[in-house]
Amino acid sequence: MPLTVPILAASGDPPFWITLAPMLVIFAIFYFLLIYPVRKRQKALQQVVENLKRGDKVVTNGGIYGEVAAVEGGILYLKIADNTKIKVAKSAIAGLEGEAEPGRTS
């Protein structure tokens, strides 16, 4: 009884799952190397922003350093100098002053 080798489709094309497998592997690699770490950092920053309170020292996306003077919903009032307060959206906060980027280990 001779050994038999599976015969490809009449057109010579490999099965669909063999064609799709490399694309799925590449997507998985991109997800775990690029997408997952960014989402993890975004969630950590969101947690920091939600827990801001009066007296916290923060940095904005524009590079302004200040101390939280008041929190009203989605708005923060930052004290950036004596008798100088500015109104900033919570979404403009990049993180706490003096800390590494949220969610980043080094």
What are the domain boundaries of the chain?
16-96
Q: Which two tokens stand for residue 94?
A: 């990049």
Contacts with 69 (C-beta within 8 Å, 6 or more apart), sequence order: 54, 77, 78, 79, 85
Judging by beta carbons within 10 Å of its beta carbon (0-12, 13-18, 19+), is residue 93 exposed, middle or buried? Answer: buried
Cα gap 97→106, rounded to integer Å: 16
The answer, yes or no, to whether residue 6 has pLDDT greater than 80, is: no
Position 99 scores a pLDDT of 73
Report CA 65 to chain centroid distance, whole Å: 22
Position 92 scores a pLDDT of 95
Contact predicate 36/44, CB 8 Å: no
Position 100 scores a pLDDT of 61
16-96: CATH class: mainly beta
The answer, yes or no, to whether residue 91 has pLDDT greater than 80, is: yes
Question: 75-81 and 65-72: which strand pairing?
Answer: antiparallel
**Comparing 99 with 101, which gets the higher pLDDT?**
99
Report CA 8 to chain centroid distance, whole Å: 44
